[in-house]
Amino acid sequence: MEERLDVHNSSIPKLCRSCEVRHRGICGALKPEELLELSKYTRRVDYPAGKEISGDSEDVVSYSTIMHGVVKLSKMLEDGRQQVVGLQFAPDLIGRMFSIKNHFTAEAASNIQLCKMPKAALERLIKKNPEIEHKLLEQTLRELDEAREWMVTLGRKTAAEKVACFLYLIATHIDPTYIDGNLENLTFELPLTRADIADFLGLTIETVSRQFTKLRTDGIIEISVGRNICVPDLAKLKERCG
């Protein structure tokens, strides 16, 4: 299998050959010649934590595949109240397909790298290869499931449960030491500030902080310097999710 792929490597663009997410993201649906075509227009871009990628109501000018790091989608009310409506991880595609304007603000939550392509380049490719649209539909359906799952957390869970849910989400999404059923001694760095976490959970930073403290004194998590978290027993954390 690996070898067969290697046979064709000469036709895979140089930039893509080293791409870690190529087979999992939308590029996995591309034929070598399509990948070559698309790669003419793509470029890797780094964003430091906190930098805005695209603003609410701004025109959609490009799409990006997340190479690594966490992207935060949010929406702000006129009076400044803010809600994070989604977190995205590699290899998700960001940018609202088929819409002139964005409906949310996208921002780098951690330091990230994107593989950015012009809006027109991807849309042209989609018209030619419906397989891409299928991949996009599957990602969108998954995001919709996740959004609805999160609505349960926002609408019906207590502050303690919300914070546990959040930690569980992060633990199972970004940690390199987490593989499927591994439940012990997960360690990771939180990709979000307390303010971001509060905006994701519909709480205040004070409440989030208090719940972190409670989880620590209860022995569910260990907090070392900064945002480093250790979860000795993931099952115990899960129990707290309500």
Partner DNA sequence: CGCGGATTTGAATAGTATCAATACAGGTGG
Partner DNA sequence: CCACCTGTATTGATACTATTCAAATCCGCG
The angle formed by the CA atoms of residues 47, 48 and 54, to the nearest 5 degrees, is: 50
Strand order from edge to edge, sheet including 43-47: 43-47, 112-118, 62-68, 93-94
| Binding map of DNA across residues 212-241, x = CB under 7 A, - = no contact | xx---------x-xxx--------------
> 185 touches which of a copy of itself, DNA, none (CB within 5 to 8 A by kind)?
none
Could you say whether residue 210 binds DNA (CB under 7 A)?
Answer: yes
Could you say whether residue 154 binds DNA (CB under 7 A)?
Answer: no
Could you say whether residue 193 binds DNA (CB under 7 A)?
Answer: yes
Helix then strand then coil, in percent of the chain rounded to 5, is 45, 25, 35
Contact 35, 13 (CB under 8 A): yes
Contact 201, 166 (CB under 8 A): yes
Could you list the residues that contact a copy of itself (CB under 8 A)? 73, 75, 77, 79, 81-83, 85-86, 96-99, 103-104, 130, 133-134, 136-138, 140-141, 143-145, 147-152, 154-157, 199, 201-202, 242
Residue bearing tokens 């987490």: 178
> In this structure, what token pair is assigned to residue 184?
């012990």
> 151 touches which of DNA, a copy of itself, none (CB within 5 to 8 A by kind)?
a copy of itself
Query: Which residues are at the interface with DNA (CB under 7 A)?
Result: 158-160, 193-195, 202-210, 212-213, 223, 225-227
